[in-house]
Amino acid sequence: MQGGLERSVLRFLAVAALIAAAAVGFYIVAISGVIGSGSGGEAARTTATTATTTTAAAPAEEPAAGETTATTGQNTYTIKPGDSFASIAAEHNTSIAKIIELNPNVNPQNLKPGTEIKVP
């Protein structure tokens, strides 16, 4: 009978250790900013600030989502739902690296529809 009780205690401790490990893992991910902010802490806040500033400075007539416009020699593109830097690069016959270079404050993993980015 002693072996059965010991086995039950060990099973309980194994489950408790698994739950504790999961809680620690969740806590680490949560404080890193990956959960809750949409995409990762400071980069997401910077992107949101940049997008707000860009939108506020935009002319009264904004292009439709996905439309490219030329303003003072600089082409811009308004992000639409489902866009990625890869799809935008293909559409503009350029590379993902070039789009990232032109938009250093935009997080490619957290593109928000309506945000304007620069394209070559």
The closest of 105, 109, 3 to 117, measured between CA atoms, is: 105
Q: What is the pLDDT of residues 42-77, one digit of tens each?
A: 444 444 444 444 444 444 455 555 555 554 567 899
| Residue 87: domain span | 61-119
Cβ pair 69, 63 in contact under 8 A = yes
Residue among 54, 89, 48, 96 nearest 71 (CA): 54
The CATH number given to whatever domain includes residue 99 is: 3.10.350.10
The whole-model pTM stands at: 0.42
In a domain, 111, yes or no: yes
CA dihedral defined by 43, 111, 28, 13, rounded to 10 degrees?
180
Establish if 82 belongs to a structural domain: yes
Residue 17 lies in a domain: no
Let me know if residue 53 belongs to a domain.
Answer: no
Report the domain count for the chain: 1
| pLDDT mean over 80-108 | 91
